[in-house]
Amino acid sequence: MVDSVRASLKHRYSSFTEQSPHETLEDPVSLSTLRKLYLTPHSALPHTTDRENITITYQPGALSPYPPVKLLNPIEKKRVLVTGGAGFVGSHLVDRLMLMGHSVICLDNFFTGSKANVAHWIGHPNFELIRHDVVDPILVEVDQIYHLACPASPVHYQSNPVKTLKTGFFGTYNMLGLSKRVKARFLLASTSEIYGDPEEHPQKESYWGHVNCVGPRACYDEGKRVAETLAYSYHRQDNVDVRVARIFNTFGPRMNWNDGRVVSNFILQALKDEDLTVYGNGKSTRSFQYVHDLVDGLILLMNSDCKEPVNIGTQEEFTIDQFAEMVIELVKRATGKCESKLIHMPALEDDPQRRKPDNSRAKERLNWEPKWNVVDGLAETVKYFKIQLEERP
């Protein structure tokens, strides 16, 4: 099963060119097809601009030139629910599932997600978009549920900690209840944050974690921990078919403009020639994976027989200072100049000091490992934010 899914996930990463010369309908997830979905500036679409009234009018159909999706036979074609499907990771997952030929229901409350991330699918017969908050129950007939809905940036999840906890508990409870009722396979997007400020390095799935349950990050960390507990309780008690992905730091196009996480903050600051805000002494570490690798991992895990939690993350580890220097360098390459410097600010409370996954389980059980290195992923993300900046009034 995993092998056949792997074949359909095939990318062409070898040459990072704009247009893959081998693009065919048989390979519905070629990199060039994906790129068109997030690197096409709106200004490239047919439109008229009224500068006096600051309005842009897109010509009919301009936002919906549907990319070609694979035609699956009814046995292979799954009805898939993606909660948080209009968010950063969710929208890339929706793209891939759509291009693979599945029928996708994208559910989002648009707190951090955005319709613009999935606008290119609106109206497609295989696609439905529902505005809904997972803290309330919903009934839809599906075969698979990817449960991603939850703000993931520390800035966002700490802005309303009670709501974050409600999303962690009730959101997951509702989606597991739905899985039980319609007999859908359930995948939880969990997080490396369940390890807290880890005392084990790198972190294996067997590590129980080191979370301050009364600290400012606890609403997310404990929310995701209880979400995992709920998933395995539904599995033990009601035989719900669960998968748990522990997602490490991930970046890429479609990160929110005001996301607040380090990658988008640094890229935007460097593109605007502002100083890069390093919290603390710059010596804490993270391992950053590119979003396409994560999406590969999620789809492979969903279609595997691996019921244990699986770390999905890369092992390239950087200090935040090193990472900041790398962003400045890449922005220089992309724009020809960047005068930004690093400024050190007070450290954040309970900020994990080191983080890197042991991803041997993902390699063994899913035959998954990251294909992108940080530099290539960052270069593409810089390009995305550059386009976004140029389009802002």
Ligand X SMILES: O=c1ccn([C@@H]2O[C@H](COP(=O)(O)OP(=O)(O)O[C@H]3OC[C@@H](O)[C@H](O)[C@H]3O)[C@@H](O)[C@H]2O)c(=O)[nH]1
As a 3-state breakdown, the chain gives helix, strand, coil percent values, each rounded to 5, of: 40, 15, 45
Task: Determine contact, residues 35/95, Cβ cutoff 8 Å.
Answer: no
Q: What is the DSSP string of 358-378?
A: --HHHHHHH-------HHHHH
| Nearest distance, CB of residue 70 and ligand X, angstroms | 30
Identity of the amino acid at 63: L
CB atoms within 10 A of CB 117: 25
| Nearest distance, CB of residue 327 and ligand X, angstroms | 11
The pair of structure tokens assigned to 315 is 């092992």
Angle at 213 (CA atoms; ends 208, 218), nearest 5 degrees: 95
Does residue 384 have an active-site annotation?
A: no
What residues have CB less than 8 Å from 212, skipping those under 6 apart? 196, 197, 218, 350
From the candidates 173, 220, 290, 384, give the one annotated as an active-site residue. Answer: 220
| Nearest distance, CB of residue 154 and ligand X, angstroms | 5
Q: Phi and psi at residue 163, in whole multiples of 5°? A: -65, -40
CB atoms within 10 A of CB 135: 16
CB atoms within 10 A of CB 20: 19
Angle at 94 (CA atoms; ends 76, 66), nearest 5 degrees: 90
| Nearest distance, CB of residue 171 and ligand X, angstroms | 15
Interaction site with ligand X (CB under 6 A): 152, 154, 191-193, 247, 249, 261-262, 265, 277-279, 284, 286, 320, 348, 351
| Nearest distance, CB of residue 155 and ligand X, angstroms | 7
| Nearest distance, CB of residue 79 and ligand X, angstroms | 27
CA dist 50 and 283 (Å) reads 49
What residues have CB less than 8 Å from 286, skipping those under 6 apart? 249, 262, 317, 318, 320, 323, 355
Give catalytic residue positions: 220
